[in-house]
Structure 1
C-alpha cells in the first residue's frame, strides 16, 4: 500500500447508473503535496525533482464508476500513485513529453494503463499535461462484456493509433466542459466507450523488463534506504556498498530512471521530506529541527538548497503550515 497522500474527496460510486449526476471540480495549487491530494479517491505521493516554484492545475469530473481528469504540473516530479480500489486507469499525455511509467520511457502516441494492483510510478517532466480516464472494472465489463482487461503484472503502455488517441483527447475535453456545465446526458456511456475503444485496439504492452526492471529496483531501494535513516544520508560509496553495485551502475540507474544523478535525487527526496514536515507544522517544530531530521546540518547550505528547490524560504512554508493548523 502506498504510504502517500490520500484524497479527502469521495471515491466514485461503482453503481452502474447511466443517469448518474456528474460532479465537476477544478483546483489550482502552488503546493505539490496539496496538489497531489486533490484527485478524488487516489493515494498519491509526489516528490518535486525540478527547481523553482510549483504550479499545478487539476480539472476533474466524477460520476458513477467513472472519473475523468486533466492534470497540468509545472515541475519535474516523481509521482507514486494508486487508483481507487477496483479501478483501471488509462493515461494519455497531451504531448510526447518523455514521461516514464514504472521506469520505461513512454513513446510517441503512447497510452498508459494501470495493472491489476492499481499502483504505478510516473516520472513526469516540467510542463507535464496529462488526461486520465479512470473506470470501475466492473462497470467497464458490464458496458463491454467481451472486452479483455489488463490483469497480470504492473502498469504498462502501448503505442495507439494516432487518430484514435487524438479522438480520445477530444472526447475527454468535451466531457470535462459538459460535466462542468451540468450536462450529464450520455456522458458516462461516452466515457466508457472511449476507454473500451482504447483497450480494445491496444497492441502489446511495453512493460519493464531486464535491465530496466533492475535499474528501477535500485532507485526504489536507494529511496527506501534514505527514508529509513533520514538524519544520516549516505554518501555514494556507502550507498553502493549497501546496494552491492558499482558507482557506474548506480549512476546509470538514476540517470535513466529519474534523469538526475544519485546525490541530486536523494537531496531532492530529503528536501521534500523537510517540506512535508513544515507543512504539517507539528507542535514546537522549527525549521532547524525539520532540517536536522532529514540530515541537513549546515543551515546556510540548507537554506540555499531549499529556496532553489521550491522557490521560497523554509520559514515561509512553516508559516503557512502554522496558519493551516490554526
Structure 2
C-alpha cells in the first residue's frame, strides 16, 4: 500500500513548541508521540504498523489529526480537566469508541478526566480537539448561554447529521492545514486567539447538533471491557510466569466461555491470542529501548517465551519484522541521535 507516510525511522520529525508533524512505524512509539496524552497501545491486527499525527497546541486548546493503519486497542488519557471532542475523517468498519460503534459521522467525546478505550478499525483517521474545561465553559456561556457538560455527557459516539459532521470535519482540517503550513500564526496573540475561538465555536455547534436518536445500551460491553482491562493488568504483573487461560479464568472468577466472548466482543481476538499479544508487546517495548548489553533471548525469556524460533515467528507475524530488525533499527536510531547531539 502506498500510504504516503514516512517509513524511515531515522527521518527527522517536525516538532516545535506549538506544531508537530510526526510519522511512525511502531504502535508503541506512536502511543508516546501525541503531546500531553498518556497512552498504551496493543496492536491487534498483524503486519507492519503505519501512523501519522499532525498536532497543534494553542493556549487552552489542542487539535490533532491521527491516522493509524492497523487495528489497535488504545487505552489513553488526555490532558487533565479538559473536554475531548472529535469526528472521524475516514474510518473502516469495526471501530469502537468507549464501547460505541464508530461511524464516519459520529461525534466522539470524552468527559473531563475520563479514560479512553478506543478499538480502532484497520484504517482510521480521526480529527480531535481537547479544550480546557474553564475556557470552553466560559466561551459557551458567553456565546450561547449553554452549559457544556450536559451536552458532552449524552453519549461518547453519537450520530451527527451529515452536513454538521462535514462542517466540523472541514473546519478542523482547515485549522490544521493552516497552522502546519504557517506555524508563525501562533506568534501573534490575536491570530492565536482567533484560531482557538474558531475551534471552540465549531465544537460547540457540533455538540448542539448531535442527534437525539435513542441510543442502544452498552452495559454488556462496559462489563466486558472491564474484564479485558483486569486481564491485561494481571498478565503484565505476572510476565515472568505467564498465566494460562485456566488460571486467568480462575482469577477473574469467570468461565472460559464467558472469557472467550468478552475478548471476541471487545477486541475481536480470542483469549489465547490476547495473552500472547500482551507479552509480544512487552518484548517490543523493551527492544525499542534496549542497551547494547541486552539480548533478544534474555528479553523474550523474561516475558515467558522459551522457544526462540516460535517466538520469532509470532513476533514477525504480528509486527511485520523480526526481533533482530527491531533491535537493529533501535541501535541505528540511537547512533544517529548521538551524532546529531554532538
- Shorter-chain TM-score category? 0.7 to 0.9
Distance, in Å, in 1 between the alignment partners of 2:324 and 2:195 is: 46
Q: Structure 1's 232 and 321: CA in aligned 2 closer, same or farther, altered over 3 A?
A: same
Given the alignment, which residue of 175, 193, 200 partners 2:208?
A: 200
Give runs of aligned pairs for residues 26-105 of structure 1, distance below 5 A.
Answer: 26-97=21-92, 98-105=94-101
TM norm structure 2: 0.83
For 1:13, the equivalent position in structure 2 comes to none
- CA drift at 1:320: 2.9
Note the alpha carbon deviations across 1:55-106, whole angstroms, 9 max, x for none: 1111112211111111111111011111112221112112353311233323
Q: Structure 1's 108 and 38: CA in aligned 2 closer, same or farther, altered over 3 A?
A: closer
Unaligned runs of at least 5 residues, structure 1:
1-8, 11-21
Give runs of aligned pairs for residues 137-286 of structure 1, distance below 5 A.
Answer: 137-145=133-141, 146-150=145-149, 156-182=156-182, 183=185, 185=191, 186-203=194-211, 209-282=218-291, 284-286=293-295
* Residues 120 and 155, structure 1, Cα contact 8 Å, conserved in 2: no
* Residues 24 and 180, structure 1, Cα contact 8 Å, conserved in 2: yes
Larger relative helix fraction: 2
- CA drift at 1:232: 2.0
Note the alpha carbon deviations across 1:157-180, whole angstroms, 9 max, x for none: 221122111110011111111112
TM norm structure 1: 0.87
* Cα RMSD after superposing both structures: 2.4
Unaligned runs of at least 5 residues, structure 2:
1-14, 336-342
Note the alpha carbon deviations across 1:200-241, whole angstroms, 9 max, x for none: 233569697432221111111111110110122222222212
Aligned residue pairs total 307
Aligned-partner SS, 2:149: coil
* Residues 91 and 125, structure 2, Cα contact 8 Å, conserved in 1: no
For 2:338, the equivalent position in structure 1 comes to none
Aligned-partner SS, 2:148: coil
Q: Structure 1's 144 and 150: CA in aligned 2 closer, same or farther, altered over 3 A?
A: closer
For 1:131, the equivalent position in structure 2 comes to 127
Note the alpha carbon deviations across 1:232-251, whole angstroms, 9 max, x for none: 22222222122111121111
* Residues 64 and 128, structure 2, Cα contact 8 Å, conserved in 1: yes
Note the alpha carbon deviations across 1:105-132, whole angstroms, 9 max, x for none: 2346211111222321111011111111
